[in-house]
Amino acid sequence: NAGVTQTPKFQVLKTGQSMTLQCAQDMNHEYMSWYRQDPGMGLRLIHYSVGAGITDQGEVPNGYNVSRSTTEDFPLRLLSAAPSQTSVYFCASSDTRDYQETQYFGPGTRLLVL
């Protein structure tokens, strides 16, 4: 199993550009989430999904869109990049199996918006 993969690892954007951060998991997990982590701070939930075709907003959804057309993939789209979106973005995949929660984070995407 590759676990949770994220691409790209690092990206530089100019203000106003759009891009998609990719996230994929091969564990057949139902739940997937996107978080952003600013320097020296905790993780803030952007969007999450409890299954294919279902998404919902987290704490800081503005400026981001998501879709979940398959169980495996959960891309995050930045509509019009702003310097305030400079951050490290983590995707997480989670599920409950035999009453035991499992959760894995991807390696992260470092985004710099100039």
59 binds other proteins (CB under 8 A): yes
74 binds other proteins (CB under 8 A): no
Determine the Cα–Cα distance for residues 75 and 17; give it in Å rounded to an integer.
17
Q: Is the peptide bond before 8 cis (omega within 30 degrees of 0)?
A: yes
Among 50, 52, 60, 63, binds other proteins (CB under 8 A): 50
Work out how close the CB of 96 gets to other proteins at its nearest, in angstroms, rounded to a whole number. 6
Contact 16, 80 (CB under 8 A): yes
What is the DSSP secondary structure assignment for residue 71, as one 8-state letter?
S
x-or-dash pattern for other proteins, window 26-45, by CB under 8 A? Answer: -----x-x-x-----xxxxx
Q: Which two tokens stand for residue 106?
A: 């991807």
Strand partners, 96: 101
> Given the rule CB under 8 A, which residues bind other proteins?
31, 33, 35, 41-45, 48, 50, 56, 58-59, 90, 94-96, 101-108
